[in-house]
Structure 1
C-alpha cells in the first residue's frame, strides 16, 4: 500500500454511498479529497439483491440526474432481476411506497396538486446498494478523489486551522474532516458531537435461509399478535421482534432465527440452514448539530433510524448534495458568511422529520390492540385519493422545501426540470456544479448582473412552453431554487446571489 499523502482539503471517513457521492461533489468543486474506508473489500451480501435493494426518492433521482449519474444507475437496475428481489415489486398494481407496510399506489396519487412540479415529473427507481457504490466510486475516482480501503479513522485532533487524522497506516492532515462512517461513527464520537434520540423497541432481522415446510408462511408482509414478518419465496425473510432491541449486534444462529420466525409467524416452519442473517433496530438518534469547527457529519453518522421505507440512503445522499458545493466554495474562499452553517440549518430539520416518520411507523407496528386499531385508521386514510397523495408527498420526497425565507413559492424547492430548447434540460445544465440563472424573459439587465458572478453562476436565456409562468429563477448548484420572480426581475436577485454565492469581487484561493 502506498503511503498516505500529508495534506488534503478534505478527508472523508467512510466509502459508502454518502461518502463517495460527497467526494465527487467536492472534486467537482475543485477540492482535494481523500476517502478513508476501514473495510478492505466493499463487497457484502447485504448490499446486493435482495437485501440491498433501495427505492430512490424523487430528490435523490433529481440529484443523480443533475450529476449525470442517473442513466448509468438505470442501466445497472435494468441488468438485474430487481422484480424478483422484493414481494412488492411482483404485484400487478404498481405500488408507489408504503407506511409501515400499508401500501399506496401510483394510480391513487393526484399529482396535479403539486403545482410546483412539472406534469408527470415524478419518477421512480429501485437499485441495489452494490450498484450505487460501484457507480459512485468509479465517478469519484475519475474526478481525482483518492479512495483508501483498509485504512479507517482511529481518532483525530481538530483545531481552528484543520484536522489531524490518525489511521492504521499513519497520520494525515486536512482543512476539513467529514464523517460519513455510519451509525457507530468514530468521527462523531472523537469530535464530541452530541447524539440524542429514542432507544429501540424491537430487533429486526434480514434473513436468507433454506426453509422446510413453508406452506403456512404467507407471501408478503404480515402483522401478527407477536410481531411482523415479510416472506419472499423461497427463503427471504424480514421480521421484527418487539424485544427492546435486545438481540441487535448479536450473531444470529440458525436456532435463534427459527425460534423468532416461529414466534412472529405463528407457524412451525423449520430453518434448515442460514445463508445470510443480519440484525437492525428502530433506534432513532440524531446529532444536535452537523458541524463542530472543522468537522462535519453526513448520512448515518449524523442520524440513524429504522430502515422502514428505505429513507436512510436517500437522506444521506441529500446531506452530501447539500454540503458538497458549500464546503467546496468555503475551501475556494468564495463562500459568503454563514454558508457552511446553512448545512445544519437546512438538513437537520429534514433529518428530524424522517426520524419522526420512522417513529410513527413503529407506533402502528406494535403488537397491541391499540396499534392495530390505529393501523386500521391509517389504512382507510391511505386508501383515499387525498390520503395517498399526502403519503406520496412525504415518502417520495416531492414536498421537500428548505426554509429560505419569504418569496416566490418555488424558492427553497427543487427546480423544475424545464426543457430549454435544442433538446437540453435544466438538469443537464447543472452538471458543471455551478449555480444557474435561468431567464425566460431575456432580460439584458439580469444577464449583466449574472456576469459579475462569472465562474460561479451560469446565465441562460431560454424559452419554454412549460415555464410555469416564472419569469426567471436562480438555482443553487444542488438544484434548489434560491430566487424566482413571476414577471419583471426585481432587486432581490442581487441580494439572493450575494447571499448564496458571495461577494462577486472576491477571488478564489490559488
Structure 2
C-alpha cells in the first residue's frame, strides 16, 4: 500500500475534493484523509443539504465539465434581465434585503458573456445544489483521476523536515511534500500547525429545523426580517432562524426541544406559531475569524479551515471553491517544478484579501440584523440605497461575483476578471478548452509565431486560435487554469516578447522549454527507431521476392 504522496489533503468535503481533482488532473499524486467513515448524512440531502453556487463556482464546475452533474435544474430563462417579459425580482440578498436583477446596470459587466444554459440562468441568484451531490460528484471524479480517499481516518499531527512532511492519521503514517487543511471550522491541521486565527466571537445562534407546524399560515414565506431577528421559511416544515438571544444555549443540538424551538420561533417571528413536532434540528454559532496567512512552511489552508463566517447569501461554499481552484494549479505547478518562484505565495496574496472582504461584509450584515434602534435605522437607510440602480448594481456585482477578482496589472481593463465564455465560429466555447486545467493562450489574430512558441512549451500551456463570434475588444489573452485573465491585448499584432514575459510570471519557461526539447528528442529517437525496425523487417521480404 502506497504511503508516500505529493500532496495530502485533510478533509473530503467539497473544497478538499475539488482541490484533489485540480491536483490530480495535473498529474500530482494525492491522498485525501476524511474523519467520517461514511459520506452519508441526512444534513447533506434535501432542503437542509441545499447549498448555493454563485457565478465563480458555477464557472469552476462548468470549466471542468462537471456543471451538469452538480446543478439542480430549475426552469429559469437565460441571462436574467435581458429576457423580455421575464419577471424575476430576486437575485440574492444583503442582510435579508432583496436585490433586484431587473434594476441592474448590465453595461457595467462588459467582460461577462453568457454561459450556456442552464448555467447562465443561475447568474443572479445562488444556483441550487446539495452537499451530497457535490461530494459524490467530486469523489467520483477524484478517484477516476487516481486520488486515494481514506474515510474514517482522521488527521492527528505532522512533522516537517526540509522538503518532507510526515503525516500521522489514525494509526497510520504517510509522507508527502505538501499538506493542505480543508478540514473545516475546527481544523486539526490549522491547530497542529499553530496558525494564528484571530477574529470576533459569535453574535447569534442559527437554527436549521425540520418540523411540523399547526398554523404555518401565520409565517411569511421566504425571507422575513423582524424587530427580533430573521427567519427563512422556504418550504413547508423547513425553517432557518437567526436569533440573537439564545447565543449561550447549553447542551448543543440535544438541547433543542420542541418547546425550546417554538419559543425561539415565536419571539423571532413575532407570531403565535405552534410547533407540533420536531423531526430534526441543528444549531450553530459562527465566529468571524481568519488566519493571518494561508501558508506556513509546507502546510496550506483552504475553505473554512482558513476563514469562518456566517453563510449569508450562500457565500461560504463559493469562497471555499474559489480557494481550491486558485490553489490547485499553483500547488501542482510547484510540485512539478515548473512554477515561477513567487507562484505559490500568490495564493495567499490573492485569496486572503477575498476572505477578509467576506468577513467585513458578514459583520455589516450582522449589524443590520440586530434589533436595536441603531441597526433598524441603518437597515432602513441601506434598503433605500439598494432600491437605487447604482446601489442595487453595486451589491449584486459584489455578492454574485461580477467584479474584478484580482489586481494583476493595468495593461488592459479585462485583466483580473473571469474570462468571458467566448463562443467560437465552430460552435465550441472557451470553457470546454479548460477541462485539463492548463494555462491557455487565446489568440484571435491567427499569429503562427505565437502558436509555434506556445506549442513548444509542452502540455502545461495550451494554444487556442479559434475565432470568436464576439471578441468584445480583445485580440489575445492569457487565461489561467482558474479562469482568470492574466494578460490581455487589444493590439492587432501580438508582441511575442511581452507574451513570454507575462507567461513567465506564472511558470518557469526555461524549465518548460528544456522539458519540451527533451520530449521532442525522445520522440525523434523513437521515430528513428521505429523506422529502422520497419526497414530491417522489410529486408527478408524483399529478398524472397527477388529470389
Where do residues 434-453 of structure 1 align in structure 2 (5 Å cutoff)? 434-453=438-457
Alignment partner, residue 308 of structure 1: 312
1:361 Cα deviation from its structure 2 partner = 0.8
CA spacing shift, 1:244–1:352, aligned 2, 3 Å? farther
How far apart in 1 are the matches of 2:436 and 2:272?
58
How far apart in 1 are the matches of 2:2 and 2:27?
18
**TM-score between the two structures when normalised by the length of structure 1:** 0.92
Matched, 1:191 2:196: no
Matched, 1:116 2:111: yes
Q: SS at 1:207's partner residue?
A: strand
CA spacing shift, 1:117–1:93, aligned 2, 3 Å? closer
Is contact 1:45-1:276 (8 Å) kept?
A: no
Is contact 1:449-1:494 (8 Å) kept?
A: no
Alignment partner, residue 383 of structure 1: 387
1:26 Cα deviation from its structure 2 partner = 0.5
Is contact 1:160-1:294 (8 Å) kept?
A: no
Is contact 1:191-1:292 (8 Å) kept?
A: yes
Question: Bigger CA drift: 208-217 or 333-342?
Answer: 208-217
Alignment partner, residue 238 of structure 1: 240
CA spacing shift, 1:400–1:254, aligned 2, 3 Å? farther
Alignment partner, residue 19 of structure 2: 22
CA spacing shift, 1:213–1:71, aligned 2, 3 Å? closer
1:233 Cα deviation from its structure 2 partner = 4.5
Q: SS at 2:405's partner residue?
A: coil
Is contact 2:206-2:285 (8 Å) kept?
A: yes
Alignment partner, residue 99 of structure 1: 94
How far apart in 1 are the matches of 2:292 and 2:466?
43
CA spacing shift, 1:227–1:79, aligned 2, 3 Å? closer
Where do residues 351-500 of structure 1 align in structure 2 (5 Å cutoff)? 351-487=355-491, 488-490=493-495, 491-500=497-506
Matched, 1:49 2:51: no
Q: SS at 1:499's partner residue?
A: coil
Is contact 2:477-2:487 (8 Å) kept?
A: yes
1:322 Cα deviation from its structure 2 partner = 0.4
Is contact 1:228-1:241 (8 Å) kept?
A: yes
Is contact 2:15-2:302 (8 Å) kept?
A: yes
For 1:197-233, what per-residue CA distance to the aligned partner results, in whole angstroms no more than 9, with x for missing partners? Answer: 1111111111111223334323222222322222244
* Segments of 4+ moved more than 6 angstroms: none
How far apart in 1 are the matches of 2:62 and 2:218?
44
Matched, 1:327 2:327: no
Q: SS at 2:407's partner residue?
A: coil
How far apart in 2 are the matches of 1:489 and 1:215?
64
Is contact 1:111-1:120 (8 Å) kept?
A: no
How far apart in 1 are the matches of 2:356 and 2:183?
19
Is contact 2:21-2:141 (8 Å) kept?
A: yes
1:148 Cα deviation from its structure 2 partner = 0.9
Is contact 1:200-1:282 (8 Å) kept?
A: yes
- Structure number with bigger Rg: 2
Where does structure 1 lack aligned partners over 5 or more consecutive residues?
A: 81-90
Is contact 1:290-1:348 (8 Å) kept?
A: yes
CA spacing shift, 1:44–1:249, aligned 2, 3 Å? farther
1:120 Cα deviation from its structure 2 partner = 7.5
Is contact 1:116-1:409 (8 Å) kept?
A: no
How far apart in 2 are the matches of 1:385 and 1:443?
43
Residue number among 53, 60, 65 corresponding to 1:63 in the alignment = 60
1:360 Cα deviation from its structure 2 partner = 1.0
Question: Bigger CA drift: 307-316 or 91-100?
Answer: 91-100
How far apart in 2 are the matches of 1:337 and 1:373?
51
How far apart in 1 are the matches of 2:200 and 2:378?
21
1:99 Cα deviation from its structure 2 partner = 0.6
Is contact 2:31-2:149 (8 Å) kept?
A: yes
1:159 Cα deviation from its structure 2 partner = 2.9
How far apart in 2 are the matches of 1:222 and 1:477?
40
Q: SS at 2:462's partner residue?
A: strand
Alignment partner, residue 212 of structure 1: 214
How far apart in 1 are the matches of 2:511 and 2:216?
70
How far apart in 2 are the matches of 1:434 and 1:131?
26
How far apart in 2 are the matches of 1:428 and 1:130?
25
Alignment partner, residue 203 of structure 1: 205
Matched positions, count? 495
Residue number among 511, 520, 529 corresponding to 1:505 in the alignment = 511
1:268 Cα deviation from its structure 2 partner = 3.0
1:384 Cα deviation from its structure 2 partner = 2.2
Is contact 1:200-1:244 (8 Å) kept?
A: no
Alignment partner, residue 140 of structure 2: 138
Is contact 1:111-1:119 (8 Å) kept?
A: no
Structure with the larger helix share: 2
1:350 Cα deviation from its structure 2 partner = 0.8
1:327 Cα deviation from its structure 2 partner = 0.6
Residue number among 29, 34, 39 corresponding to 2:36 in the alignment = 39
1:248 Cα deviation from its structure 2 partner = 7.9
How far apart in 2 are the matches of 1:420 and 1:486?
18
Q: SS at 2:99's partner residue?
A: strand
Alignment partner, residue 86 of structure 1: none
Where does structure 2 lack aligned partners over 5 or more consecutive residues?
A: 76-85, 520-547
For 1:239-275, what per-residue CA distance to the aligned partner results, in whole angstroms no more than 9, with x for missing partners? Answer: 1111383238712232321221122122333333222
Residue number among 337, 340, 343 corresponding to 1:336 in the alignment = 340
Question: Bigger CA drift: 440-449 or 283-292?
Answer: 440-449
Question: Bigger CA drift: 326-335 or 373-382?
Answer: 373-382
**TM-score between the two structures when normalised by the length of structure 2:** 0.86
For 1:176-202, what per-residue CA distance to the aligned partner results, in whole angstroms no more than 9, with x for missing partners? Answer: 111000000000000111111111111
Q: SS at 2:27's partner residue?
A: coil
